[in-house]
Amino acid sequence: MFTVNNDMESGTYEWRKDGVTLVTNNSNTYTIPSVLLSSAGLYDVVLRDDCNPATATTTSASWQLIAIQSPVITQQMPASKSLCENANDTLRIRATGAGRTFQWSRNGVPISGARDSNYVIVNATVATAAGSYTCTVSGTCAPPAVSSACVISIVDRPRVTAEPTDLDICPGTAGSISVTATGQALVYQWFKDGQPVPNGFGATLNFPSYDYASNGQYYCIVRSNVPNPNNCAVTTQTAAVRVSGFRAPVVKESPDTTDACVGSAVTLLSEFQGAGLTYQWYKNGAAIPNAGSNSLTISPVTAATAGDYYATATGVCGLSATTSPARITVLAKPKLTVEPKGAALTVGDRLEISVTGTDARSIQWTKNDKPISGATSATYVVEKVGRGDAGYYNALVRNDCGGVSSAYANVSVVDPAIPEPILELSTPSVDFGEIPVGYDKTLQLNGLIKNVGTAPLLVSGLTITPSEFTITNGPSLPLNLLPGASADVTLKASPTTKGVLTGSMNIASNSPSNPSASLSLSASYVLRYDHAAAEDFDTVLTDTTRDRCIVVTNTSTMDITIEQATITGANAGQFAVTTTLPLVIAAGQSADICVTFTPGSAGSKSATLTLRSSNGGNSSLSLSGVGETPGGVVDAAEAGITAWPNPMTDRVEVRFAKNTPAMEVSVVSSTGRTVASFSHDGVDAGGTIRWNGRDASGAAVASGSYTMVIRYGGSAVSLPITVIR
């Protein structure tokens, strides 16, 4: 708009541009509605007064109009662009116009500092670079120019945010491994041992019912499934993990088949390979209670122990393995059911002797106590005997539990052409049986020594060992026995130590085929009952008595009778048996033999109680007690000693009203038995000591009445205590 100021009152205005009339009007103002570049030029106005338009004119000075163009974008960005993650790129526009300035925006938000015609994207990521970019160009004149948008997409690599982990899985169960990843349009491919897993296309790889064929190393490749014109890196790989099915335990060692002796202990061992194993032993297919380790010990072995045993180990997932079975054969010491029998043979006859026994594992025949080479069968045969085959034969039958010797079989071999004496015993062995302790036993053996030959027999020697066996009546030596004659012998067994006693008696003669014979001897020295080794009456006032009873238990299978009970020793007069005798105790039962203790005077007393039983044996035990003068016992109330709580349950506090020096404390039951004792360093007036109601073994004493005896200096204080459980 141009305006001319003048003093013309009435006239016209001729507005010109570059000397060319644009318009003539009556306005001193010329307006260009819309300035264009073509509007530029020199403008003036000619004023003509209406009074004399031809001559009354004047021309204004010229005005130059310079037309300034608003910004115009001459080069646009592409509509879209794809960048690799972490790549660098530049966005460019070109524009014309005076005074141009630039402002880049991302998603409509101005980017700070982005004020150049080029915008550089550095280290592109989805978070920092993806979006719609525009650039606004401002100039001297409005309006600003806005570029067309360029949409930047970032082809970013996937990122694993949670790796798969190793999988240990039970066969037949369901399990899975999985990966968590971030990225665009992710697709997955799982690999096992380097090979693609069919249908392994998800973030999770499932094993619906696992089997060992799936064991292996697994990993997953995660890929962004996006357009990738720039060939960007769009994959990532997880760490490799192990997938493994738990295995059943493996048997490394099965128990061994074995023989076991009655009364012994036998242990079966198994060994398995595996983790977290539990064990169960079976006998004949049935589970054995409380047999939950890899070894099984049976003690003592009985006949019922025999059977087939095996162990099962169970690991994770309930998978198990079972050993091969082991058979336990229960043996007892062999017992002979058929003894070898002697024979009187003639040269050239056949000799056959046999032995039969239970649980026999080995047999060795002997002749005159010397092993016969190769004679290890139940039957020993000599097809044609000679004079040298005469002698005493027996079989040694053994197993792991022991051995037994058969009876001796006297085999005589005669040559009809040569008369000779033959020594033979009527029995190969003598068993005195059980002899009660303190007693002996005599047996008369009628016709023990015999001459079964055809010529007189001269017996020159009779010897017996050990000294506990003696010959009390025998023939005078030398002894001549005619053919068919015999002699009697009386023997006595006098054992000195409990248990089995064995020995032998040997007979020497002039018999050519068997000059000597041996008689096996045996006896068992037994005490058929049991009792304590000692009885202590504890402390008893000298003007009182105390009764104690000794429990005698018959440990045998026969009734026994205690005929006598006598007391001897330094203080025998202070002890007396009160039980009426004789006392019969049935097999397997118990009975009491009671004794009264009357100390009479202060001090320790001792004696010995001896029990005599002709069918049970003799035994003894020690008796002891202590006498205490009554004047030394002080009532608790008098001594200022009290107990609380009383009755007590699990503790009692004993309070002393006076200073009390070091003391010895004992707690005595109503039967006179000391159940607890302890020492204390002493207490000041008002102090206390405590008893927890337990005996010397730590067990709680039973409910009942007790006396706490507190000894200090020369005094003894009795304090009644009641225990209630």
Percent of the chain exceeding pLDDT 90 equals 79
Delimit the domains of the chain by residue range: 2-65, 81-155, 159-245, 250-331, 335-526, 529-628, 631-723
Q: Cα 434 to the chain's mean position, in Å?
A: 49
HSE-up (13 A, CA, CB side) for residue 576: 10
Cα(16)–Cα(37) distance, rounded to whole angstroms? 17
pLDDT of residue 539: 85
What average pLDDT does the segment 46-72 reach? 89
Query: Which has the closest alpha carbon to 562: 581, 590, 588?
Result: 581
HSE-up (13 A, CA, CB side) for residue 403: 12
Inter-residue contact 187 to 201 (CB < 8 Å)? yes
Inter-residue contact 690 to 665 (CB < 8 Å)? no
Q: pLDDT tens, 143-199?
A: 999 999 999 999 989 999 999 999 999 999 999 999 999 998 999 999 999 999 999
Cα(376)–Cα(364) distance, rounded to whole angstroms? 5
Element (H, E) at 237: strand 235-237
Q: Cα 656 to the chain's mean position, in Å?
A: 52
Q: pLDDT tens, 348-389?
A: 999 999 999 999 999 999 999 899 999 999 999 999 999 889
What pTM does this model have? 0.45
Task: Tell me the CATH architecture of domain 631-723.
Answer: Sandwich (2.60)
What CATH number has the domain spanning 335-526?
Answer: 2.60.40.10
Query: Which has the closest alpha carbon to 609: 561, 525, 552?
Result: 552
Residues 6+ apart with CB under 8 A from 192: 200, 214, 216, 217, 218, 243
Q: pLDDT tens, 196-219?
A: 999 999 999 999 999 999 999 999
What average pLDDT does the segment 575-597 reach? 94
CATH class of segment(s) 2-65: mainly beta
Same fold, 2-65 and 335-526: yes
Q: Which of 386-390, 456-460, 481-485, 671-675 has the lowest mean pLDDT?
A: 671-675
The larger pLDDT score, comparing residue 206 to residue 7, is at 206
pLDDT of residue 551: 95
- The structure tokens listed for 526 are 């037994």
Topology of domain 529-628, CATH: Immunoglobulin-like (2.60.40)
The residues with which 189 forms a beta bridge, in sequence order, are 221
Write down the mean pLDDT value for the chain: 93
Its sign, for the CA torsion 507, 509, 511, 513, is: positive
pLDDT at 527 over 90: yes
What average pLDDT does the segment 696-714 reach? 88
pLDDT at 638 over 90: no
Element (H, E) at 583: strand 583-585
Q: pLDDT tens, 117-150?
A: 999 999 999 899 999 999 999 999 889 999 999 9
> What percent of the chain is helix, strand and coil (3-state, nearest 5)?
5, 55, 40
Element (H, E) at 14: strand 11-17
Cα(430)–Cα(504) distance, rounded to whole angstroms? 9
Cα(440)–Cα(100) distance, rounded to whole angstroms? 143
Cα angle for residues 521, 524, 525 (degrees, 5° grid): 125
> What is the residue-wise DSSP string for 606-624?
EEEEEEE-TTT--EEEEEE
pLDDT of residue 273: 95
Q: Cα 443 to the chain's mean position, in Å?
A: 61
DSSP 683: B
The pLDDT confidence band at residue 605, using thresholds 50, 70 and 90, is very high
Looking only at the bridges linking them, the beta strands covering 633-635 and 715-723 are parallel
Q: What are phi and psi of 426, to 5 degrees?
A: -70, -20
- The structure tokens listed for 91 are 């966005």
Cα angle for residues 681, 686, 690 (degrees, 5° grid): 55
Topology of domain 159-245, CATH: Immunoglobulin-like (2.60.40)
pLDDT at 632 over 60: no
The pLDDT confidence band at residue 500, using thresholds 50, 70 and 90, is very high
Amino acid code (one letter) for 682? G
Give the alpha-carbon dihedral of 553, 557, 559, 561, to 10 degrees.
-50
In the CATH scheme, what is the homologous superfamily, with its name and number, of domain 250-331? Answer: Immunoglobulins (2.60.40.10)
Q: What are phi and psi of 8, to 5 degrees?
A: -70, 130
What average pLDDT does the segment 59-72 reach? 91
HSE-up (13 A, CA, CB side) for residue 134: 12
What CATH number has the domain spanning 81-155?
Answer: 2.60.40.10
Looking only at the bridges linking them, the beta strands covering 131-138 and 101-106 are antiparallel
Q: Cα 559 to the chain's mean position, in Å?
A: 49
Residue 389 backbone zone (phi > 0: left; psi -120 to 50: alpha; other: beta): alpha
What average pLDDT does the segment 708-713 reach? 87
Whether the link from the prior residue into 512 is cis, omega within 30° of 0, is: no
Element (H, E) at 536: strand 534-541
Q: pLDDT tens, 431-462?
A: 999 999 999 999 999 999 999 888 999 999 99
Residues 6+ apart with CB under 8 A from 87: 121, 123, 124, 230, 232
* R_g (Cα) of the chain, nearest Å: 62
Inter-residue contact 660 to 652 (CB < 8 Å)? no
pLDDT of residue 118: 97
pLDDT of residue 555: 93
pLDDT at 630 over 70: no
The larger pLDDT score, comparing residue 410 to residue 240, is at 240
The larger pLDDT score, comparing residue 636 to residue 93, is at 93
pLDDT at 525 over 60: yes
Inter-residue contact 386 to 453 (CB < 8 Å)? no
pLDDT at 634 over 80: no
Q: pLDDT tens, 18-50?
A: 999 999 999 999 999 988 888 899 999 999 998
pLDDT at 631 over 70: no
> What is the residue-wise DSSP string for 409-423?
EEEEEEBTTB----E
The residues with which 154 forms a beta bridge, in sequence order, are 83
Cα(511)–Cα(702) distance, rounded to whole angstroms? 76
Cα(595)–Cα(575) distance, rounded to whole angstroms? 7
What average pLDDT does the segment 671-682 reach? 86
HSE-up (13 A, CA, CB side) for residue 460: 7
